[in-house]
A and B are shown apart, each in its own frame.
Chain A
Amino acid sequence: MLGRPLLRFVRKDTHINFMRGRFVGLATSAVLSLASLILFFHPGLTLGLDFRGGIIVEAKTNGPADFGKIRAALTAHDIKTEGVQAFGGPDDVLIRIGANEGINTNTVVDNVRHAITEAQPGATIIRADAVGASVSAELLRNGLLALGISLLMILAYIWFRFEWEFALSAVITLVLDLTKAVGFLVVTHFEFDLVMVAALLTVLGYSTNDKVVVYDRVRENLRRYRTMPLRELLDLSINETLSRTLGTSSTVFLAALPLAIFGGASLSGFAWVMLFGIVVGTSSSIFIAAPLLLLLGEKRLRRDTRPAVKKEV
């Protein structure tokens, strides 16, 4: 283990013709993204407390929870809940109260506390979150703003460092990645909250990183092989960076995996989205970003169509 590496991802002479599958890749991606988009409108994201507003109280009762008693106590305090449910162990109770313009977050949380301790003496409140309607709208706006501005800045940066064809195909790919992640959220019923926005942004950052590495090689090869057709050149660049792409994806995947398993309720959703995003982001660098670049840049990036003469610089 101290000397030569024991394992290797790809053989030294790997050359996979990725570009041959470009239409299959683009079509699969388009279908998945379209399906995600449909899922986004129906049934839609499960909005978390941050964006929906309302109240969530988590309590641990002394011994098994008596839900009937708790419900009765809540009703006695004139609290309308969206649900009193079990989660985790038999002594864990989760109470949800919907957002309501007239709701007074000031006192409802306190009343819930009182109701629980009355119904189940010795119960402890593990967590109590209350988000007012005005705040939740603002948090949602800021979250979406962060996503949007990040995309724009990535576009600007790649444009500045590369050519516009690179920037555009990267951002289109990122948007496709993002829609799939949203579809994943809908299917898995993970709650969409601020932490999920952070997860999406991290996926975005990671996916961009991956594309930049491939593009960087494309740019280098454009200079190195002045006459190679773009299609061949893209294939060559992807193959050259394949080992690195798989290596880095693996390390990030391995780092996120324990979060998904041991991270507890608040982080596992975040981590699963990360894991999903790593897989999607890595494959989209190969199957989406590069074919898009071929489509956008075939005429522009490589106008020179003299017969290919390989010339090492």
Chain B
Amino acid sequence: MMYYSRIKLLSVAAVCLLGALFCLPNFVRKPNISMPWPQIHLGLDLRGGSYLLMQVDLSSLTHDRLQSLSDGMKQSLINDGLGYKNVQVDADKGEISFLPRDPSEKDRDLKSLANLPQAVPNEFAVTSRDDGAIVLTLSAAAVRVRAHDAVSQAIEIVRRRIDATGAVDPQITRQGEDRIVVELPGISDPERIKALLGTTAKMTFRLVDELPAGTVIAPPGDTLLPQADHPDSTLAVRNHVDVDGAALTNAGATTDDQTGGWAVSFSLDSVGTRAFGEVTQANVGRRFAIVLDNKVIEAPVIRSAITGGSGIITGNFDAHQATDLALLLRAGALPVPLAVVEERSIGPSLGADSIRAGAISLGVGLLLVIVFMALFYGRFGWYANIALFANLMLMLAVLSLFGATLTLPGMAGMLLTLGMAVDANILIIERIREELKRGRTPLAAMQAGFERATATVLDSNATAFLAHVMLFVFGTGPVRGFALTITIGIATTLFSTLLLSRMLMVRWYAVARPSTLPV
């Protein structure tokens, strides 16, 4: 206990040196050569920026899938010369039910539907119910897989859209099953990005059926869709999609030669080009609607076949709208709608104020603790102070190596860790005092102090550790930063007090050989 091997001394010194080395990048400008430069990232609350929590609307996903399944089901039954009645789609339960045209056809119905293509193995099951109905039930697992894929795809689209705006260093992460977190450092007014992410941008090209004026009910196979410019007037657009926006290869903002207004140009891939050519050739004189998110942007009359695979959309755009629409079309449509459920925007001035407040508190707090330890614990208190400094350095180093994010509560956590860190030293010193009081020699007292205090230090830190791990697991945002710094702080505290400050005390004793201890 009172002797440290050379190798132990050296390794403790080495850890301290490494700590100093790794926390250095936070204070020194990166030299102009390529080398790793691990730094602590400042949280949005310190550097300013926006945090957006987006909710993925997964119910639309199940609804869409049931709709297409229902279409496939009807087709399959008709192809096999069967019929159906009373088709009901229940998105909440994830099932479609129908009654056979005649109860005797039930077995043939089941056989026909057994061949329906499944998107993933065991996506749905076809069963018959007691009341004679046949039920298609989506399996929960398939719904989950579809949801997971949709969220992953949505994240990719979100990333493409945000990258296209030129945002610096955006962080886009999945949270739980149906949430996406978007962090935008430096952007304290996220209005444009929210608008971009709130748009599904599903574009389709579909033919228009001309209806007599005053018609309010769409003919079968059509849907009445509002026009973007005149929300009150609707057009009967065919449900059949001739060309899908997914076939777009490029889009850009441009000006319309005829009107001089802003427009969006687009070009299609080979499949889209062929489909576009065929439709336009066969339907000269009819109107062809460009539909974006169930709104008709425009519906020009087809004058001649368009076979070049490119065209322009001339809505009533201003420069911003044209640029953003082109951006959305380039990035692709979101597979599911997103909605902002939490937004936190911090302006740069508040961030700077917070950094100052945190730094002042940290400085003053550290100073108070150092003076206190010196006054109440003398020489050993100073060793504790040296350990305290090493502790701070190591904490910064570990946070840098993790590439962790420092938040304002994180800075508070750092300060509290430093306040708590000297506890281990206090325990040891107080214990040495007691052992001296019991009449032990200085050497025996120090030995007993170290030995007895270690168990106490471990126990007391373990409980604090547990509490903060919980906070990290259940917390979000800045609070997690707080829990992380304290958790890391507890680890570095154990090192700096149980090894470093103790070693300093032992080395001092070995060199000075005092007859009494300064406690």
Contact = CB atoms under 8 A, between A and B. Distances in A.
B513 to A, nearest CB: 15
Contact of B369 (A2, A126, A251, A274): A251
B467 interface: yes
B420 A252 contact: yes
B188 A209 contact: no
Contact of B53 (A58, A135, A270): A135
Contact of A204 (B340, B423, B467): B467
Given A149-B470, A248-B422, A3 B409 contact: no
A38 interface: no
B216 to A, nearest CB: 28
A90 interface: no
B297 interface: no
A258 B368 contact: yes
Interface stretch (B113-121, B308-316, B354-362): B354-362
Nearest to B421: A251
Interface stretch (A21-29, A137-145, A300-308): A137-145
Interface stretch (A6-14, A40-48, A79-87, A227-235): A6-14
A257 B368 CA distance: 9
23 contacts: A3-B518, A106-B194, A109-B343, A127-B346, A135-B341, A150-B471, A161-B459, A195-B478, A198-B475, A201-B467, A201-B471, A206-B420, A209-B463, A212-B460, A213-B427, A213-B460, A216-B459, A251-B372, A255-B420, A256-B419, A264-B354, A266-B45, A267-B409
B375 A153 contact: no
A244 to B, nearest CB: 4
Closest 3 CB pairs of A and B: A255-B419, A146-B474, A132-B341
Interface in B324-372: 339-347, 349-350, 353-354, 357-358, 360-366, 368-369, 372
A203 B412 CA distance: 13
Given A209-B420, A264-B354, A130 B342 contact: yes
User: Which of A5, A124, A127, A158: most chain B Cβ within 10 A?
Assistant: A5
B378 A1 contact: yes
A64 interface: no
Given A125-B345, A248-B420, 4 more contacts: A124-B349, A125-B189, A139-B476, A208-B467
A4 interface: yes
A205 B464 contact: yes
Interface in A176-230: 194-195, 197-198, 201-202, 204-206, 208-210, 212-213, 216-217, 220
Interface in B394-434: 408-409, 412-413, 415-416, 418-420, 422-423, 426-427, 430, 433-434
A237 to B, nearest CB: 12
Contacts of B478: 194-195
A158 B374 contact: no
A17 to B, nearest CB: 19
Interface in B486-519: 486, 518-519
A157 interface: yes
Contact of A8 (B360, B376, B483): B376
A143 B56 CA distance: 23
Given A127-B345, A208-B467, A113 B191 contact: yes
Interface of B: 45, 53, 55, 188-189, 191, 194, 198, 339-347, 349-350, 353-354, 357-358, 360-366, 368-369, 372-379, 381-382, 408-409, 412-413, 415-416, 418-420, 422-423, 426-427, 430, 433-434, 437, 452, 455-456, 459-464, 466-468, 470-471, 473-479, 482-483, 486, 518-519
B50 to A, nearest CB: 8
Nearest to A194: B479
Contact of B423 (A8, A146, A195, A209): A209
Given A125-B347, A264-B354, A146 B470 contact: yes
A258 B452 contact: no
Nearest to B464: A205
A134 interface: yes
B477 A154 contact: no
Contact of A264 (B353, B372, B416, B463): B353
A124 to B, nearest CB: 6
Contact of B342 (A4, A105, A220): A105
Contacts of A210: 460
A258 B477 CA distance: 24
A5 B426 contact: no
Given A209-B423, A252-B416, A106 B345 contact: no
Given A125-B345, A248-B423, A263-B412, A5 B377 contact: yes
A106 B420 CA distance: 43
Nearest to A195: B409
Contact of A263 (B188, B357, B466, B477): B357
Nearest to A143: B474
Given A252-B419, A264-B353, A216 B455 contact: yes
Contacts of A208: 460, 463-464, 467
Interface in A103-155: 105-106, 109-110, 113, 124-132, 134-135, 139, 142-143, 145-146, 149-150, 153-154
B343 A105 contact: yes
Contacts of B374: 1
Nearest to A13: B437
Given A146-B475, A263-B357, A124 B347 contact: yes
A120 to B, nearest CB: 15
A165 interface: no
Nearest to A250: B372
A8 B426 CA distance: 12
Contact of B365 (A6, A256, A270): A256
Interface in A242-277: 243-244, 247-248, 250-259, 261-264, 266-267, 270-271, 274
Nearest to A242: B430
A208 B422 CA distance: 17
B450 to A, nearest CB: 15
Contacts of A256: 365, 415-416, 419
A240 interface: yes
Given A5-B518, A129-B343, A251-B423, A157 B466 contact: yes
A205 B467 CA distance: 6
A71 interface: no
User: Which of B53, B409, B460, B476: most chain A Cβ within 10 A?
Assistant: B460
A306 B361 CA distance: 55
Contacts of A263: 357-358, 361, 412
Contacts of A58: 350
User: Which of B344, B373, B419, B460: most chain A Cβ within 10 A?
Assistant: B419
B342 A131 contact: yes
A50 to B, nearest CB: 9
B368 A255 contact: yes
A119 B373 CA distance: 54
Given A157-B463, A251-B372, A127 B347 contact: yes
A52 interface: no
Contacts of B364: 258, 262
A6 B378 contact: yes
B344 A255 contact: no
B351 to A, nearest CB: 10
Given A257-B368, A264-B357, A7 B375 contact: yes
B445 to A, nearest CB: 14
Nearest to B51: A129
Given A126-B349, A131-B342, A264-B357, A212 B456 contact: yes
